[in-house]
Amino acid sequence: MSQNHCGQATPATRDAEILIVGGGLSGALLASQLLRLPGRRRMLVIEPRSELGRGEAYSAVELGHTLNGNAARMSVDPDNADDLTHWLTQHIAGGGWPESGRQSVPVSELFPPRGLFGVYVQQRLAEALQLGLEQGSSLSHVRGEAVDLETDSDGVCLTLADGRQLRGGVAVLATGMFPAARTPQTRSSGLNAAALDPWDVAAMARLDPQATVLIIGSGLTMVDAVVSLEQAGHRGPIEVFSRHGLLPHVRRQPPAWVDFLAADLKLRSPRQLLREVRRQCREAQAQGIDWQAPLDTVRVHIGRLWSQASEAQKRQFVRHVRPWWESHHHRSPPLSAERVARLHAEGRLRIHAAAYQGLEPSVEGRLTIRLRYRGTEHSERLEGDALINSSGIEYDWRRVARPLPQQLLARGLVIPGPLALGISATAEGAVHNARGQASERLFAMGPPLRGLWWESTAVTDVALQAKALAARLAALPL
């Protein structure tokens, strides 16, 4: 545990009223909402990257790495679902993203590159900053990594990796996602040490084009990895392994469907929900309507359904339904899905239902992994030329070997959330400490609240949380 100790963060010694830890999507949207609210407040965003608003997800530079939702679904303005569509229309009209002209669909149905979406977030933040300055509020970017945090009755003190300390009235954990492929883990089989980054096209370009590539995980990160390999010029076999061998479905644009969950609040348990969703999907198909139409109506009810479920029901959902929910709900953008489908049809890409069990000593420079195929009792060894970890997001903070999560857990300032998904907090985002008390000084939003809301990573989820938390913070007597 850090031995650095802060003095009291009294109003006279504070560097800002609000410290936002993380300057990716979550931090940028919270700052934007706070800047737009009346009042005068000082805010600091602590972010090691040189830019705010991009974070891990939207720092992508390859055009092939796109959002997995179309523009109509990805607005950062919770009060205007068409905000991204309008911004994108103007951006394209001004000569931006010329490649969009290859797709003969309305702007609202385009799937923008993630890097371009980062530009959109940055522009909205810049506009909010200008409005905030006119109202007497300020926002500053402190470039550095937060490694420790302390609280007392007067405020919070944040310690950075270089030893600097920042004092504030409250702090918000807007740390975003910890991608498994880029996150050191406290219990690891050495996978990340041996694996290529799914988004590192330059590293993949150094492979033999005919190399056999092994991929662990078959979700959206795998789709990105396949896109990266294609852009790097890879032409060899790709072997994909995941426990259930499920691929993300392609995202389509189905017509509207009746909100059947709003009409029947008696549907509560995972079993009831699954049964009714299947019935609705069958009914849609019988009418010649895409099965994705009824499934898409479920989205707005997930937070309510998850929060009212018992611990046993949540475990039942995670154990038995989660893989199918992920593959059906977290769907692939059409162009990426077409690429995966083509490689699969050509026989270059094969999907296996198998559990990864670890690395084996390599032979003559090749990688060897151990797997247990679904339905079998014994593990097998498999060789390849390269390995990619596409196992998604690490939500269990106890497994993330980053200084801040480890320190917060060690100090008892946070505790794991339900089913060890993220951290525990109230519905308003106040973090629970080791005694189960809701903090008056420490808040969280976005992916850290996965255990509270289940779906807490999508742009619309984060935007709604940012608006609600901003209103809560603005009402505090800081």
Count of residues for the chain? 478
Tell how far CA 288 is from the center of its chain.
34
> 371 is written with which tokens?
């797997």
What pTM does this model have? 0.94
Euclidean distance between CA atoms 338 and 229, whole angstroms: 15
User: Which is nearest to 2 in space by CA: 144, 126, 158, 134?
Assistant: 158
**Domain spanning 181-249+332-389: CATH 3.50.50.60:** yes
User: Which is nearest to 176 in space by CA: 52, 17, 317, 42?
Assistant: 52
Query: Hey, do 16-65+113-178+395-474 and 181-249+332-389 end up sharing a CATH topology, with the first three levels equal?
Result: yes
CA distances from 367 to 214, 221, 344, 360 (A): 9, 21, 23, 8
* Residues 331-352 pLDDT 10s: 999 999 999 999 999 999 999 9
The answer to whether the beta carbons of residues 44 and 206 sit under 8 Å apart is: no
The yes-or-no verdict on residue 221 having pLDDT over 60 is yes
> Looking up tokens 């949380």, which residue turns up?
465
Euclidean distance between CA atoms 251 and 186, whole angstroms: 35
Percentage of the chain exceeding pLDDT 90: 83
Bigger pLDDT: 272 vs 31: 31
Q: Which CATH architecture has domain 16-65+113-178+395-474?
A: 3-Layer(bba) Sandwich (3.50)
The answer to whether the beta carbons of residues 157 and 165 sit under 8 Å apart is: yes
| H or E, element range at 453 | helix 450-453
Domain range annotation of the chain: 16-65+113-178+395-474, 181-249+332-389, 260-329
CA distances from 46 to 20, 24, 31, 144 (A): 6, 10, 12, 6
* Residues 243-255 pLDDT 10s: 999 999 999 989 9
* Residues 168-217 pLDDT 10s: 999 999 999 998 888 877 665 678 888 999 999 999 999 999 999 999 99
Q: What is the mean pLDDT of residues 156-176?
A: 97
How many helical (H) and strand (E) elements, i.e. helices and strands, does the chain have? 16, 14
User: Which is nearest to 150 in space by CA: 443, 442, 470, 471?
Assistant: 442
> 246 is written with which tokens?
């499920």
Work out the pLDDT band at 56, boundaries 50, 70, 90: confident
What is the SS3 assignment for 162-175?
A: CCCEEEEEEEEECC
What residues are paired with 142 via a beta bridge? Answer: 46
Amino acid at residue number 376: T
Euclidean distance between CA atoms 366 and 363, whole angstroms: 5
